[in-house]
Structure 1
Amino acid sequence: MQDAPNGEGDGERLTLFGSFTSSSSFKPMLFLALAGLSFSFRTVNLKTGAQTRPDYLAVNRYGQVPALRHRGLTIVQSNVILDYLARVTGRFEPPHEQDRWQAREWLSWEADAITNVAKVRHYSRFRAVDPAVMEYFRPLAEAALDRVDQALAGRDWLVGEAPSIADLGCWGRMVFMAEGGFELARWPRLAAWAGRIQAMPGYAAPYELIPKKDAEIARR
């Protein structure tokens, strides 16, 4: 079994690399918090370009966050990390096979559709772009939010009768929607669903949950 890099503990220790401004980082952080799991956090400062340095590219060749190291494996892409964590911990994994596949279907769709919410937020806060760019992405983001709101008609969770990686992956990307100018109250079912997630023990907003520096997170 391969040890974690740079003496960061044995291979059984979960080590998550991420950034406190990143919705992609928030998704696995939220899983770990709600599951009550201990882990090591290694911050990757996107503002200073730490994601493009050779030491981090050796972890994630795409130069992105997040990345997870565990049991000698390196897992990248936030939704793949959610899939992995659900498989190895059994948490937020639907009990029925059809629902397990549907949860992963939601994660794939999220990466294609809800990511537009993150793009609008990014262009609103971190990078000025031509207004035509926003005119293109904002309707796509709103359509994705409409789709989730409609999917929640008559149900509490996106898949099955309990929260799953589908809920964590979708809300984890939407969580910064206000920074993109989206009013959560516009989508009442989505707002109620978000409230249920936020009421779960261990939940915290991204800027409270994700450390700004390297940290050892111990939970029972």
Structure 2
Amino acid sequence: MTAFPAPEDPERLTLYGSFTSSSSYKPMLYLALSGLPFSFRTVNLKNGVQKTPDYLAVNRYGQVPALRHRGLTVVQSNVVLDYLARATGRFEGATEQDRWHAREWLSWEADAITNVAKVRHFNRFRTVDPAVLAYLTPPAEAALTFVDRALEGRQWLVGKTCTIADLGCWGRMVFMAEGGFDIQRWPNIVAWRDRLTAMPGFALPYDLIPKKDTEFDPV
């Protein structure tokens, strides 16, 4: 028997992730805000579980997250968000244009906001030459400034409701303080953050992502 057997109920969403991972937080937040039942399977990155044969059979890239549902396995956090929105209908845009716009944000996030996560990673988990942080910090700050300007006069990044664009971008930015970024520099992001935190089911990563396998069955 492998450490990561296929879900017994193929209709039940099963998410594989890690406690410290912003990539894991994005689909976790989606599921928490959706109020959907799901199973969480922990992948201990510190112990290298992501590189074991059993987990590589789930996610060939040796990364988190991964999602299993209806006989499918979906990996890469923004692709998982895309799948969840399509499969459940939650946090989709109101129009076809909005839906494409939301996915454009996810693609941009993977290129730009990921710099925030890199700075956080090197600040917290690895010691690197200061030149590395000096190189990554300006594009990270530029990405945050871009989001802040995009939120000027708006409540959400796309349309008039929260979408996967908001969850994908915030889910990567959530650890910005651990990278040394003061959110108060970006007032529109602060207001947007406050709207997100007011949503039923919202929780920050360390409160939301468990350290062990857990079943989530909202009443």
- TM bucket, shorter chain: over 0.9
* SS in structure 2 at match of 1:86: helix
Counterpart for residue 96 of structure 1: 95
1:66 partner letter: P
Counterpart for residue 201 of structure 2: 202
CA shift for structure 1 position 218: 0.7
1: CA distance, partners of 2:215 / 2:119: 32
TM-score normalized by the length of structure 2: 0.97
TM-score normalized by the length of structure 1: 0.97
Counterpart for residue 58 of structure 2: 59
CA shift for structure 1 position 189: 0.3
* SS in structure 2 at match of 1:68: strand
CA shift for structure 1 position 7: 5.9
* Correspondence list, 1:49-128, <5 A: 49-128=48-127
2: CA distance, partners of 1:202 / 1:160: 22
1: CA distance, partners of 2:63 / 2:132: 22
CA shift for structure 1 position 50: 0.3
1:12 partner letter: E
Counterpart for residue 144 of structure 1: 143
1: CA distance, partners of 2:55 / 2:207: 24
2: CA distance, partners of 1:90 / 1:174: 24
Q: Identity of counterpart residues, as a percentage?
A: 74
Counterpart for residue 153 of structure 2: 154
Contact 2:7 2:68 in 1 (8 A): no
2:148 partner letter: D
CA shift for structure 1 position 219: 1.2
Structure 1: gaps spanning 5 or more residues: none
Counterpart for residue 20 of structure 2: 21
CA shift for structure 1 position 106: 0.1
Counterpart for residue 170 of structure 1: 169
Counterpart for residue 131 of structure 1: 130
CA distances 1:76-106 after superposition (whole Å, capped 9, x unpaired):
0000000000001000001101110000000
Structure 2: gaps spanning 5 or more residues: none
CA distances 1:109-155 after superposition (whole Å, capped 9, x unpaired):
00000000000000000001100000000001000000000000110
* SS in structure 2 at match of 1:171: helix
2: CA distance, partners of 1:59 / 1:8: 12
1:125 partner letter: R
1:77 partner letter: Q
Counterpart for residue 192 of structure 2: 193
| Alignment CA distance shift 1:10-1:117 (3 Å) | same
1: CA distance, partners of 2:5 / 2:150: 44
* SS in structure 1 at match of 2:55: helix
* SS in structure 1 at match of 2:16: strand
CA distances 1:137-182 after superposition (whole Å, capped 9, x unpaired):
0001000000000000110000000000000000000000000000
* SS in structure 2 at match of 1:6: coil
1:146 partner letter: T
2: CA distance, partners of 1:38 / 1:20: 19
RMSD: 0.8
1: CA distance, partners of 2:8 / 2:29: 22
